[in-house]
A and B are shown apart, each in its own frame.
Chain A
Amino acid sequence: MSPSAPNSTPPEASRGPVGTSMSWSALRWWLRAIELFSPSETQKIYLWSVVAGILGFIMCTLFTYGVDLLQSLFTMRPQGEQLCTFSSLSDWMRVLVPALGGIMAGFTLWYAHKYSDGKPMEYMEAVVLGDGHVAAKPNLLRTLSAMFSISSGASIGREGPLAQASAVAASYVGNMFRLSVPRLRLVVACAAAAGMSATFHTPLAGGLFVSEILIGTLTMQFLGPMLVASCTGYFLMALLRDGEALYQVESLNCPHIESIGWCVFLAVLAACVAKGWLFLLKYARKYLNGRPQWLPIRLALSGVLVGVILISHPEIVGNGAHIIRKLIHFNPTVSEAAVMMGLKVLAVVVVFGVGTVGGVLTPCLTLGSLLGYLTHAGLVYAGVPENQALAYALIGMAAFFTAAASAPLTSLVLVIEFTMDGHLIFPLVVAVLVSYGMARFIKIHSIYASATQRGAQSVFEKPMLKVLLGDIASTAPPKVDVGERFGRVASMLVKNPGEMLFVVNKSGKYVGNIVSSDVLEYARNEELADAVIAMDLARTDFPKLHDRLTLPEALGIFARHPKAEALALVDNETGCFISAVNRVDLYLALSEIMRHEKIR
């Protein structure tokens, strides 16, 4: 600043803002962009759900390629459709492959139990119970174990491990960005939803599945991000690989309106059978499962059983998708369908019971469709003039899964998206409603209830008044020292677009907030770089939250200050800055806790 050179810039300013290698001109453009496009906290959640959707798709693709590769190695056949591959095998290979897969899956699972530091946690537990942190090693080992089982033909679904792998990826990325607990849980749930939708090609049902079954709420606060994630996962799948409906039907005879009573009958029957099915699974897990060191032997023996079944009925291989396709496209005889149902129940109960990692969604859908198919056959046999076997199979599928998972909306949408046929909407709605009512009446607990009720209890399980603000606070709020130069403050605003900076003094006490809208307009002026420090920019008209406040009290403070997206959390006694509590995170936490309290 010399009088002889009036337009010269200070040396510091000419180098660029302190703490960043950006030039002033680049900073100016960047700040202008931030001013124009700076997302709100809610928008950030939606952006995160897009990221979760991408992660879900990536993990789905890796999982599918991995399973195909392992199947090819196990069967020594080129990669191809599972039923065709297993049908081409000799009898002894049909027994050997599932047994070998069982041994490898068992050893992997045993290794995960024995040598992993972190406790394996189902993705459901991470979403519903935990703090969103899904330990990578044990959970990826579980996923690998599931890949061995699935690729060797075990009768188990793939949606569970796939959603788990997606959740691991989302948890890892979310931790990298130090997301707060409520937000991390939501991102993990979004990734699970995206993994589901990419696997089943169901953009709506993927989000509904997680929102309705795991989180237990269908408010837009949760459902919105879930749907964005699941649509992203589906979009990428359809764009880059295959988005066709899994069980597309060419022509579907819809039951007549006067036959709706038979749909009600089927729904009641489905609920009763679902109760028995859940009973079988529960006791199979109780009596067939045991010490982890016997896992390889147990899984190998279950593989032998599946292999023996595959010798005569190769369509039993895998999760049951081949059976559903057979029902849709080949009209099997009643006896064939009955035998398939019996064998599938046996295979799933044993494979699931011995402790195989995998999902039960597709097996449930398979049994439901077989039940509907057989019910239709029974009605025809009894003289009821019906000719809608396929429609009954689909209605049975929806009704059965509704009762088994306590998820009427997910079941309804799942079946419609599977078939991409809306003709059945009315009988489906009737069936899922009746089935849901019947399930409540005969006190069926959701198949996912045990997975969502065990494991480490999260902070959201506590009564509302016992949850501390620190439990939901940001892990790394942007804070600056009072003496920090303006250039450094500007660069921090660049790194944390749209966020407030929290100013603390040398002893760590909270001083005030720097609001980006106050500063951004002037952050482009290098004259201020050395003249102004953070202390000069801090506003003190924002309230602070004491660490002893309850969540409802904090909500009251936020309600009185509608412009505050985040407030400082300070120690009640020392006044030292602890962290920051975000308005959106508070809303998410309150919603979850209120849901738990409602359940209690």
Chain B
Amino acid sequence: MSIVPTLKTLEIPESLGKMEAIAFMLAGLDVVLSAEQLVLMQESLMMREETATTYLDNGLAVPHGRAEGLDTMHLVVGRSYGGIRWGDEGELAKMVVLFAVPKNMVREYLSAMQSVLRWYKVAPLDADGGWTGTKEELHQTLASSLEL
């Protein structure tokens, strides 16, 4: 099992709801995950979201799920200009970082989550939490924060 995560960056269409956005982002991993793994991961992500919302603060949501069969952790970063209704009180998520984690990987997951949260603290954001830089800058700064 590799401990170095993969990272993919994409734009999320504004018309999507929370669950659709998760499915859309997960589809971005269809190159590295099998169809069966994608199904398992989606179920895990949904279950996690039902247990407690992954919306944090200031426009950031970090959906994460764990499933058997993954050989490393995969991160998908999506930004949405208009925001996706995500939080319990209808807060808008403008930045979504999806974690697809191997079933029993804990330490590396916590390390990556910590890096993402620290990165977001110092990220160039507007007042609503929207990313003010380019897509390439987003990918580059986050990859650097994750030491990829």
Contact = CB atoms under 8 A, between A and B. Distances in A.
Contact of A528 (B114, B125, B126): B114
B106 A6 contact: no
Contacts of B113: 528, 531-532
A527 B52 contact: no
A6 B57 CA distance: 13
Interface in A491-538: 515, 518-519, 521-522, 525, 527-528, 530-533, 535-537
B125 A531 contact: no
A521 B106 contact: no
Contacts of A117: none
A23 B145 CA distance: 28
B125 A3 contact: yes
Contacts of A7: 121
Interface residues of A, number: 26
A482 interface: yes
Contact of A540 (B103, B117, B124): B103
B109 interface: yes
Interface string A474-495: 0000000011000000000000
Contact of B104 (A522, A531, A532, A540): A540
A219 to B, nearest CB: 36
B98 to A, nearest CB: 13
A533 B54 CA distance: 10
Interface string B122-141: 11111101000000000000
Nearest to B107: A518
Given A7-B121, A527-B117, A515 B106 contact: yes
Q: Which of A2, A3, A519, A541 has the most CB of B within 10 A?
A: A3
B88 to A, nearest CB: 13
B104 to A, nearest CB: 5
A518 B108 CA distance: 9
Contacts of A540: 103-104
Contact of A1 (B51, B60, B111): B60
Nearest to B64: A536
A528 B106 contact: no
B31 interface: no
Contact of B110 (A519, A539, A541): A519
Contact of B51 (A515, A519, A533): A533
Contact of A536 (B48, B118, B127): B48
Nearest to B120: A1
Contacts, number: 70
A483 to B, nearest CB: 5
A518 B60 CA distance: 25
A287 to B, nearest CB: 69
Given A3-B123, A522-B111, A530 B56 contact: yes
A531 B62 contact: yes
Nearest to B123: A3
A568 to B, nearest CB: 15
A3 B129 contact: yes
B66 interface: yes
A522 B120 contact: no
B58 interface: yes
Contacts of A482: 51
B14 to A, nearest CB: 21
Interface string B75-94: 00000000000000000000
B117 A528 contact: yes
Interface of A: 1-3, 6-7, 10, 482-483, 515, 518-519, 521-522, 525, 527-528, 530-533, 535-537, 539-541
Given A3-B125, A527-B118, 9 more contacts: A1-B56, A1-B58, A2-B58, A483-B51, A527-B114, A530-B56, A531-B117, A533-B51, A541-B103
The 7 closest A-B CB pairs, nearest first, are A3-B125, A527-B117, A518-B106, A522-B110, A1-B57, A541-B104, A6-B122
